[in-house]
Amino acid sequence: QFPFGRRLPCDIYWHGVSFHDNNIFSGQVNKFPGMMETVRKITLSRAMRTMQDLFPLEYNFYPRSWILPEELPLFVAEVRMMKDSNPSWKPTFIVKPDGGCQGDGIYLIKDPSDIRLTGSIQSRPAVVQEYICKPLLVDKLKFDIRLYVLLKSLEPLEIYIAKDGLSRFCTEPYQEPSLKNLHQVFMHLTNYSLNIHSGNFIHSDSVNTGSKRTFSSILCRLSSRGADVKKLWSDIISLVIKTIIALTPELKVYYQSDIPAGKPGPTCFQILGFDILLMKNLKPVLLEVNANPSMRIEHEQELSPGVFENVPSPVDEEVKVAVIRDTLRLVDPQKKKRKDTHNCILFLRDSLLGVVSAFCIIWSMKDKQHKHHSLKLS
């Protein structure tokens, strides 16, 4: 740590929040310029919309979204049109303030007229999105998946997906949204930061019980029930790659402006947190991408009223230590000097008219096994 500035150049720079240093001329930085802006809710929705317009089937893993306030009239008109053409359609929508996190300011509505346009949080720009009403439940609870993805390089595009992630559970049994339960955040929102305040939250020392579990423990359970876990993984990998492809043009603009080609500068890599919801039919849906996923491996425990202590969280430790360790191994400059011996590189060839093929690796250096996956984007 260099609280008073750095004296010597480093091989790897680990910045806390964003790429912010113009005085780095070599080495690698753990943030891409502009990543925070690129994955904000509105920017992400715009990027996904562009791709949905071009490749509607390939990008159907992102819920239909509208940007507020500018697309409010469009939202109202489109919902009215869909309701007219299908009177039995009883949708629910989720409104999420732009730049918000940890469930801050989020609410569910049944009708466009329920959008709150006044008040400090409500007047902020936001995304309104189709609410996924039939999520996969485990123990009658809604949960989402946090997957860690290493964007190792933009050009060539190299993506690694951690083999294990976290499953974060709601703390009230799930019911499909109705006017009666729309406000019950412990039933509808899976955010750890919200559910930790529920009396039902369970901190567990085991990876397959409690309110935060490993994703692999969920996969085991699904597999024992006969689910096609291989197909699920391949859908998730495809979702991750397509999302990064959608973000790439914007990221390249930031990159070229902050680190112009030909000038000495660092290269960048970044760990991203992908939040994914599984539908009842096991289809993965992208909720959001986090540029700064929490890497905490402890949680706070209240010893006595008002007195807190940090205690280790075995589930977080199991997943996150592996992510950081493997990231450091993958960006290890010594390894680069020895010539990159990995054959586990995501490799993307694109041509405007042809087919885009992407090969991606689920990474797990722990057991030294690399699984190769391929998919085709038409």
- The residues that touch ligand ADP, with contacts defined as CB under 6 A, are 63, 94, 96, 100-104, 106, 129, 131-132, 144, 189-191, 275, 277, 287-288
341: exposed, middle or buried (C-beta count within 10 Å: 0-12, 13-18, 19+)?
Answer: exposed
- CA-based angle 236:366:374, to the nearest 5? 30
User: Is the CB of 115 or the CB of 331 nearer to ligand ADP?
Assistant: 115
- At residue 58, φ and ψ (nearest 5 deg) are -65, -30
Minimum Å gap between C-beta 162 and ligand ADP is 18
CA distance 32 to 250: 11
Minimum Å gap between C-beta 288 and ligand ADP is 4
User: Is the CB of 35 or the CB of 360 nearer to ligand ADP?
Assistant: 35
Residue position matching structure tokens 């929705």: 45
Residue type, 374: S
Minimum Å gap between C-beta 52 and ligand ADP is 14
User: Is the CB of 158 or the CB of 316 nearer to ligand ADP?
Assistant: 316
Residue position matching structure tokens 């390894």: 335
Minimum Å gap between C-beta 232 and ligand ADP is 18
- At residue 246, φ and ψ (nearest 5 deg) are -65, -30
Minimum Å gap between C-beta 278 and ligand ADP is 11
CA distances from 122 to 64, 77, 127, 288, 296 (A): 20, 21, 11, 20, 30
CB atoms within 10 A of CB 139: 10
- Partners of residue 161 on adjacent β-strands: 149, 362
Minimum Å gap between C-beta 357 and ligand ADP is 30
Minimum Å gap between C-beta 354 and ligand ADP is 33
User: Is the CB of 63 or the CB of 293 nearer to ligand ADP?
Assistant: 63
User: Is the CB of 22 or the CB of 123 nearer to ligand ADP?
Assistant: 123
Residue position matching structure tokens 């929102």: 189
Write out the two tokens for 82: 């869909």
User: Is the CB of 131 or the CB of 148 nearer to ligand ADP?
Assistant: 131
User: Is the CB of 174 or the CB of 363 nearer to ligand ADP?
Assistant: 174
Minimum Å gap between C-beta 136 and ligand ADP is 12
CA distance 109 to 131: 9
Residue position matching structure tokens 């299908």: 86
CA distance 254 to 127: 23
User: Is the CB of 150 or the CB of 189 nearer to ligand ADP?
Assistant: 189
